[in-house]
């Protein structure tokens, strides 16, 4: 199935689908379900390709914000806005 065909079936733009394909977009469950149904498959089959990547540290390194960096950004935001940071 081409991206254009999937776009027509799913209702998502081809631009968004390409961004998903490149890993630039985090999918929620509803989006995954729509894509799976559009490809005439089950959500389980749709997610089967993800399981091997869950064991790969490099896969997460580029997608997940390291906790210390997140915490620092959150602290900076709270200081600027005058909110207290509850830990």
Residue 29 is assigned to a structural domain of this protein: yes
For 23-77, the pLDDT digits (tens) are 788 888 899 999 999 999 888 888 876 666 666 666 656 655 555 555 566 666 6
Residue 86 is assigned to a structural domain of this protein: no
Where residue 2 falls among pLDDT bands split at 50, 70, 90? very high
d(C-alpha 82, C-alpha 27), whole Å: 32
For 10-27, the pLDDT digits (tens) are 999 999 999 988 878 888
What domain range is 63 assigned to?
3-81
C-alpha closest to that of 10 among 27, 25, 32: 32
- Total domains in the fold of the chain: 1
CATH number at residue 60: 1.10.260
Residue 14 is assigned to a structural domain of this protein: yes
pLDDT for the residue numbered 54: 63
Residue 28 is assigned to a structural domain of this protein: yes
């Amino acid at each position: 199935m081409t991206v254009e065909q999937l776009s027509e079936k799913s209702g998502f733009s081809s631009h968004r689908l390409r961004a998903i394909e490149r890993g630039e977009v985090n999918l929620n469950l509803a989006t995954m379900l729509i894509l799976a149904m559009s490809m005439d498959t089950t959500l389980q089959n749709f997610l089967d390709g993800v399981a091997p990547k869950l064991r790969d540290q490099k896969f997460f390194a580029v997608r997940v914000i390291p906790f210390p960096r997140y915490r620092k950004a959150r602290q900076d935001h709270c200081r600027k806005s005058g909110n207290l940071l509850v830990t």
